[in-house]
Amino acid sequence: MLDKNKVLDCTHSGLDIFKYYLPGTWRVGRNFKNPFYNDTRASCNIYFDRRSNMYRLKDFGNPDYDGDCFSIVGKIKNLDCTKDFTEILKQINEEMGLGLENGNTFPRTKYPLKTEIRKENSTKEPSHIPKHYSLFERSFTLKEIDFWKQFGITREILKLYKVVSLEEFTSETKDSKPFTMQSSEREPMFGYLGKKYVKIYRPFSQIRFLYGGNLPESYCFGLEQLPAKGNTLFITGGEKDVLSLASKGFYAICFNSETSSIPENLIKKLSYRFKHILILYDVDKTGLEASLRHQKQLSGFGVNRLVLPLSGTKQEKDISDFFRMGNTKNDFNQLFIEFLDQLYNETMAILKPCEIDFSQPPIASQTLISINDVPLGTQGNLMGLTGGEGTGKSNYVGSLIAGTLSQDDYIDTLGTTILPNNEGKAVLLYDTEQSETQLYKNISGILKRSGRENMPDYFKAYCLAGMSRKERMQAILQSMDKFHYQFLGIHMVVIDGIADLIRCANDEAESVALIDELYRMAGIYKTCIVGVLHFTPNGLKLRGHLGSELQRKAAAILSIEKDDDPKISVVKALKVRDGSPLDVPLIQFSWNKEKGMHVFVGEKTKEEKEKRKEMELANIARNVFSQQKRYTYAGLCEKLQSVMAVKDRTAKSYIKFMREKGLIDKDAENNYELKK
């Protein structure tokens, strides 16, 4: 039975308990700042009370902390002195190693006394004097190896972490009286060696821990063995737990005890090196309370805690016991996966519908716009259309819309195949540039081409030139939502002048946000959004941040240009998601006076298409090699992907074509250079 008086006898009337549990540099009889709250004035004092014959604490700034050593420990442990006094005595006895479980009184100087715990940023020297010590090492006996082996700890790990078997340990008590401890078969003795200190571990003795030399206040076992970078770091309650985890391939450290303060600056540094830092303390009452307290203290660094599925008894409470009971590395890894499931529960729930189930292929997107069976505009995607002034962009856009309105088997859609809108879903045209008069004229041409006299209800056209840029985007998004429900879907959306939806087409942030939002809307409404960009492209790549972002996200980009014959406009592909844009036929259309509209006049010949491909790639080659004289094959391939916004296999086919046409050549070191 634990007794209050015996505890006081073993701890210098409670003074050693204050020294063990109360952090900070303080002295008896002198005022100091209370370390348990943001104390601004030194008004806390520890003194000897002659009436009770024990040391007490007086806080003139906060009387809640007034009391003896037992009340202070109770406050630290969240225990009530009146109700939980026996538990307080028990925890003091266990943590300080007093050895009073059986009513025996041991010399006060033999427990692992923490004479002083300084604050991390303190610059004062410790008030205690390091005790001299000597030790005699010996080889591990087979029985000692078996002791470590039950926790999965190998000889290699013991050597790596500087754990030795000791024959004898000699040091001195607080009163400078020498004492010697020897190892025996029943009570083996091990040492955790450090610089100018040793921590003694006696697993089967009543006094389990002793210290020799100058144990640093920043004691952290396992710190030197950590890698520069890692995924997960565990903070355990003791050295044996660190060794057990290390033997399974996990990274771990520990401080002097579970109740020791954890320096925040060290955790800050480690948080840059490790993705996860988890507190893995014992699952008894002390360990659970300490891990929860440290987790709250270090939450700013992303520190969490992992609670082992153990009973919490003396034989089943820590990670060493977990492995001793037969659990494997995979079993522990599964616990960590379950922890991540809880940590990322919301994110994983959101991701679940996005997961690809290979056994259930997704429904293929319908192709709304294509040329010679090459998909250009598909459901859930963007399609870009660009060109200079007077090249016929509006007429080509009109032909796309006319294809969705047509009731005839065939209408002239200027060489482009359009999926008919047989279900009467919404077809929306937003024009940000032209006047109402010009837009009305364009719509008249659309209806004429489609064979209609009047606009169907599902076709909506809006002139947004008079709105502010912010109002335009809001109007587009809200009207799309309304018409999606009104007409049970949206077949096609055309935004003629998407650059007028943001303040500057060269603003990267605005450009990315706009294209992301349009791409999101295309996916939500399962439609194709055709964005008309009034830029003149430079070869095969659009200019400006908006052009680059559209080219990156769109399924296809078409450019309308004037032919050598100014009466003819040519439609050429700048990008197709699958394949090379240079292999898409060149579509031609021109004005037909008799029909009063533009008409399809055929494709460019194969020779002309090859000539165009060679000219385009010659321009690209001159541009690429003006920045760097020589490229490796991989470097040139990567550069072409970046410049032309094409995939790896397309870039490789371009390199082959440029070599065949004599545009580039290899040097003696097999690097590519522009052929002179």
Q: Give per-residue pLDDT as tens, 72-85.
A: 888 888 888 888 88
pLDDT of residue 220 exceeding 90: yes
Which residue in the block uniquely carries the two structure tokens 């090492």? Answer: 137
Measured between alpha carbons, how far is residue 525 from residues 426, 427, 442, 471, 550 in Å?
11, 12, 26, 21, 19
Q: Are strands 274-280 and 230-236 parallel, antiparallel or unpaired?
A: parallel
The helix (run of H) or strand (run of E) holding residue 234 is: strand 230-236
> What is the percent of the chain with per-residue pLDDT over 90, rounded to a whole number?
40
d(CA 235, CA 144): 25
Q: In whole angstroms, what is the distance from residue 440 CA to residue 434 CA?
A: 10
Is residue 485's pLDDT more than 80? yes
Q: What is the CA radius of gyration of the chain?
A: 39
Rounded distance between C-alpha atoms, residue 363 and residue 525, angstroms: 15
CA torsion 486→487→489→492, rounded to 10°?
Answer: -120
| CB environment 42-65: b (16+ within 10 A), e (fewer) | eebbbeeeeeeebbbbebebeeeb
Return the percent helix, strand and coil in the chain, to nearest 5: 35, 25, 40
Mean pLDDT for the stretch of residues 331-346: 90
Query: Which has the minimum average pLDDT: 158-172, 221-235, 400-414, 540-554?
Result: 540-554
Task: Decide if pLDDT at 122 tops 50.
Answer: no
User: Does residue 123 carry a pLDDT above 90?
Assistant: no
Per residue in 295-334, pLDDT tens? 999 999 999 999 999 999 988 999 999 999 999 999 999 9
CA 529/CA 494 separation, integer angstroms: 6
Mapped onto helix, strand or coil, the DSSP state of residue 353 is helix
Question: What residue has token string 């309308």?
Answer: 560
Q: Residue 224 — pLDDT band, cuts 50, 70, 90?
A: very high
Q: For residues 270 and 252, what is the distance between their CA atoms, to the nearest angstrom?
A: 11
Distance CA 260, CA 21 (A): 8
Of 484, 497, 377, nearest to 429 by C-alpha is 497
Q: What does the block give as tokens for 219? A: 């004691």
pLDDT-based confidence at 115, cuts 50/70/90?
very low
Q: What is the rounded distance in angstroms from the CA atom of residue 115 to the CA atom of residue 20?
A: 6
Q: How far apart are CA 610 and CA 270, in angstroms?
A: 59
Q: In 3D, which of 568, 563, 565, 574 has the Cα closest to residue 538?
A: 574
Kindly report which listed range (124-138, 333-347, 410-424) carries the lowest average pLDDT score: 124-138
Say what the pLDDT of residue 374 is: 86
For residue 110, give the nearest of 1, 200, 5, 14 by alpha carbon. 200
Question: For the residues of 282-329, what is the DSSP string, one character each?
Answer: -SSHHHHHHHHHHHHHTGGGTEEE---SS--BTTBSSHHHHHHTT--H
Angle subtended by helix axes 606-627 and 633-644, to nearest 10:
110
pLDDT at 151: 94
Q: How confident is the model at residue 107 (pLDDT cuts 50, 70, 90)?
A: very low
More confident residue, 454 or 641: 454
What confidence tier does 103 reach under pLDDT thresholds 50, 70, 90?
A: low
Q: Where are the strands (E) in 388-525, listed by range?
A: 417-418, 426-431, 459-463, 490-496
Residue with tokens 């960009």: 533
